[in-house]
Amino acid sequence: MIDDPVNKHYKFTIPREDLMTPGHSACPGCGEPLALRYLLKALGPRTVINLPAGCAAIIPGVWPRYSLKVPLVDHAFECTAAVSSGIRAALDKKGVEDVTVVGWAGDGGTVDIGLQALSGAVDRSTDFLYVMYDNEAYMNTGIQCSGATPCGAWTTTTPGGKHIQKRHDKKPIMEMMIANGIVYGGTVSVAYPEDFIRTIRRAKSIKGPKFIHAYSPCPSGWRMDPRKAIEVSRLAVRTGMFPLYEFQEGRYRFTKEIKKRKPVEEYLRLQGRFKHLTPADVAEVQALVDREYEELEAKVEAGRR
Amino acid sequence: MHRTYKDLPSEPVAMQSTEDIITGTWRSIRPVVNEDKCIRCYMCWKYCPDMSIIVEKEGDYPTVDLDHCKGCGICSNECPRGAIKMQREVL
Amino acid sequence: MIEMMTANYAAAHGARLARADVVAVYPITPQTSISEKCAEMVEKGEMDAKFMMMESEHSAMSALIGASYVGARTFTATSSHGLALMHEMLMWAVGARRPIVMPVAARTIGGPWNIWGEHQDVITERDVGWLQIFCENNQEVLDTVLMAYRVAEDPEVMLPVMVIEDGFILSHTVDSVDVPDQEAVDRYLPPFRPEHPVSIERPMRHGGVVMPDWWTEFRHRIYLSQEVARTKLLEAEEAFQKEFGRSYGGMMELYRCDDADAVLVVAGSAAGTAKEVADKLREEGKKVGVAKLRVFRPFPAQEVHHLGKKVRTVGVFDRSYTFGDGGAMFNEVRSALHGQRNNMKNYIGGLGGRDVTVKNIEWIFEDLLKIASSGKVDRTVEWVALKDGSGRW
């Protein structure tokens, strides 16, 4: 299953230092602490994070404990990007320029309830990095459908069964943000840490509003074996369900080229949330993924010209 | 450690490490590294969400921090040589 | 320097003189000209602040919470629906202990639509933990903004403050305002130095999860800070008097109450009208007084208690309502007078921009004097100048 070349020289392929301590409260196999871990490896200690309600509010530990080694500001659900704007404004007023402000929110906190604040902050050209860790539903409240839940997935509010409750796919948040005016956009997956870190560092080097869409598996909510978390994340990329690409200055570029996409069925069948899908449903999902992937390929191609 | 009202900070700020929280108790299966098979690629270290795979320095074999390992099994699944087996915890 | 300006401009000048670092705003009538004035002063270089136009009042308050954590002095203003939309973050600001100062041009909340003044918006937020100070005139608005920062940022308080001005009646009415010198304000108001700023060198988590084991204690801390704020407000006003020569009577200003047969408790601009009417009635030999409820949170229960000992008949004028009960101010005054044998009556009026006239207040005082002499309260809640055809008004 491994498509990364095995490093035979006992070399660490990502920075060794962690700005995060074990003992955090993530479920076993959760992708979110991995994403945070990679993020902090990429950004280093001169970082301020702010985050809303969600799994991310629980994972760093409950008072008086704290598992990160950078400052963190907590706030309500819908205001991530607005709080980032405020933090950046205050840092600017104090003349602090070399600190990266990171708004870190889940998919529901981004594409649904936090969309207004995010759009405003991008519109104001706030110099910050917004990371949406996408576990494809409201997981902290117990697996409710969000605007980022994929077509056909079971959640407690899309009980599924034979009928696919949600026929439309995830909100195209990257496209929405590009239209809104971000200076850099990138997708990252916890299955590709080297690419994850490279993309975050690239984003950090650019001034202005940056948007990162981070794929973050949720074994509890996706009804799968925790040990499969990375395997599933890798399949999401290799099937084209979650392509890795970046956007800058009007051009799209794949950061992980997939020469021959695997059938989505390989991805779907590892997860209980898709187990009710009939072959016809799977075909429908495949058609959807094909269409979206081809659209993206066309954009990447246009950027090459 | 805040034990009394008087020790509380004026506002709810948290700065005490989570390291003394023993999440290892959540575990029902534990990873066991077979050094004969291990090629020290450190995939297990890279993908551990709990930072519980310890590699002191380059070239070392990985060991498991059982105080914090939650037994998710990602290391075992990602190991390219099948050098990590998940073993049932015995009470 | 004496200048002619609205209360909204006075509020903006207060923010300028306080050297607010970050101003985040969203427009709403009748507050908007506070935001506009700040933008203008920042644009002209008269005010050294980061000015941010937000996408909602909720975002404005959120941004200020973030900025305040970094150690910035923060300012915004709102009204009505804007305040209601902020509700969640108002509470967050309190729990996060952020000393934000916010003028509120008090207004109705719909529906149906009505953009004019009353106190319903701010009264609805009385339980969130903000200090609430009602202003009588434009000068008091400017001065109270300065006092508010001094109290809010006190390490023993660390709570946000609402400076309340009546929508349109003050917000859009030009009056003479003595604008203090920057040097004097700098002497009065030290820079903001929070105990736990966001710091790269000393990273910590601000406002994370607190479990049932310590939640009560953190809440109790806020309760204690509100209690301490009583003293701090008085100290701030005393120092203000020394520096600028003006003061506003502390938590509750007693006007001609000493030998009064009846007194009317009233907040905001209507207090000015009531004082004028009291003067007039006093000339006619009628012994009435006015208790201007200046600080509503923390509630001046002690002061009300003493007032009740002094004056038997107490009327309370509410520019808002609690459906299913009398006005909020009335209920709070009544509870502070618990166990005392005061005659009490609630007057609700001045809603949705309707003027509180000299005639209205005269009627109220006459009504209270009737109660004082007969010892009988005809009804607990009276809606002032109600067009119900009863001929009472």
Provide the ipTM. Answer: 0.96
In this prediction, residue A9 carries a pLDDT of 57
Please compute the mean of the pLDDT values over residues B5-28 and round it to a whole number: 93
Length of chain C counted residue by residue:
393
Give all domains of chain B, ordered by start, each with its CATH number: 22-88 (3.30.70.20)
What is the distance in angstroms between the Cα of B45 and the nearest Cα belonging to chain C? 25
Q: Does domain C2-244 have CATH number 3.30.70.330?
A: no
In this prediction, residue C12 carries a pLDDT of 98
Q: What is the dihedral of CA A41, A45, A50, A56, to 10 degrees?
A: 40
Q: Which of C145, C131, C139, C61 is nearest to C103 (CA)?
A: C145
Q: How many CB pairs under 8 A join B and C?
A: 40
The ranges of chain C annotated as CATH 3.40.50.970 are 2-244
Please compute the mean of the pLDDT values over residues B67-85 and round it to a whole number: 98
Contact across the interface for B11 and C96, Cβ inside 8 Å: yes
Per-residue model confidence as pLDDT tens digits over C342-352: 999 999 999 99
What is the distance in angstroms between the Cα of C159 and the nearest Cα belonging to chain B? 11
3-state secondary structure of A50: strand
Helix (H) or strand (E) holding A87: helix A80-93
Alpha-carbon distance values, A53 to A27, A109, A155, A216, C207 (Å): 17, 8, 19, 16, 11
Give all strands (DSSP E) within A126-165, no chain letters: 128-134
Q: Which of A116, A219, A168 is nearest to C57 (CA)?
A: A116
- With beta carbons less than 8 A apart as the criterion, state whether A28 and B26 touch: yes
Supply the CATH classification number for the domain A32-304.
Answer: 3.40.50.970
Set of chain C residues whose Cβ sits within 8 Å of the Cβ of B11: 96-97, 158, 195-196, 206-207
Distance CA A257, CA A248 (A): 17
In this prediction, residue A11 carries a pLDDT of 81
Q: How far is CA B38 from the centre of its chain?
A: 18
In this prediction, residue B60 carries a pLDDT of 93
Set of chain C residues whose Cβ sits within 8 Å of the Cβ of A124: 52-53
CB-nearest partner of A65 from B17, B43, B70 = B17
Residue C392: pLDDT above 50?
Answer: yes
Q: Residues in chain A with pLDDT < 70? A: 1-9, 161-168
- With beta carbons less than 8 A apart as the criterion, state whether C378 and C297 touch: no
In this prediction, residue C202 carries a pLDDT of 96
Q: Could you give phi then psi for residue C11, rounded to 5 degrees?
A: -65, -45
Residues 6+ apart with CB under 8 A from A235: A241, A262, A266, A267, A270
pTM: predicted TM-score of the whole model, two decimal places:
0.96
Residues 6+ apart with CB under 8 A from C321: C120, C327, C348, C351
CB-nearest partner of B72 from A7, A28, A65 = A28
Per-residue model confidence as pLDDT tens digits over C289-338: 999 999 999 999 999 999 999 999 999 999 999 999 899 999 999 999 99
In this prediction, residue A256 carries a pLDDT of 95
Mean of the per-residue pLDDT values for chain C?
A: 97
Residues 6+ apart with CB under 8 A from A60: A24, A25, A66, A67, A68, A72, B18, C205, C208
In this prediction, residue A172 carries a pLDDT of 96
Please compute the mean of the pLDDT values over residues C269-275 and round it to a whole number: 98
Overall fold of domain C252-383: Rossmann fold (3.40.50)
Q: According to DSSP H, which parts of C71-192 are helical?
A: 80-95, 120-124, 138-152, 182-188
Q: Which of A172, A184, A109 is nearest to A140 (CA)?
A: A109
Set of chain C residues whose Cβ sits within 8 Å of the Cβ of A86: 22, 24, 52, 62-68, 70, 74
Contact across the interface for B13 and C218, Cβ inside 8 Å: no
Please compute the mean of the pLDDT values over residues C143-157 and round it to a whole number: 98
In this prediction, residue A1 carries a pLDDT of 37
Q: Which of A211, A228, A242 is nearest to A271 (CA)?
A: A228
In this prediction, residue C291 carries a pLDDT of 98
In this prediction, residue C69 carries a pLDDT of 98
Please compute the mean of the pLDDT values over residues C267-272 and round it to a whole number: 98
- Find, in chain A, the residue whose alpha carbon is nearest to that of B58: A10
In this prediction, residue C375 carries a pLDDT of 96
Per-residue model confidence as pLDDT tens digits over C61-111: 999 999 999 999 999 999 999 999 999 999 999 999 999 999 999 999 999
Structure tokens at C139: 């000068």
The ranges of chain C annotated as CATH 3.40.50.920 are 252-383
Q: What is the dihedral of CA C134, C140, C145, C147, to 10 degrees?
A: -90
C contact residues 44-103, partner B, Cβ 8 Å cutoff: 95-97
Distance CA C67, CA C23 (A): 9
Per-residue model confidence as pLDDT tens digits over C237-257: 999 999 999 999 999 999 999
Per-residue model confidence as pLDDT tens digits over C165-186: 999 999 999 999 999 999 999 9
Residue extents of the structural domains in chain A: 32-304
Alpha-carbon distance values, C97 to B75, B82, C263 (Å): 43, 52, 37
Residue B91: pLDDT above 80?
Answer: no
Distance CA C34, CA A154 (A): 50
Q: How far is CA A128 from the centre of its chain?
A: 16
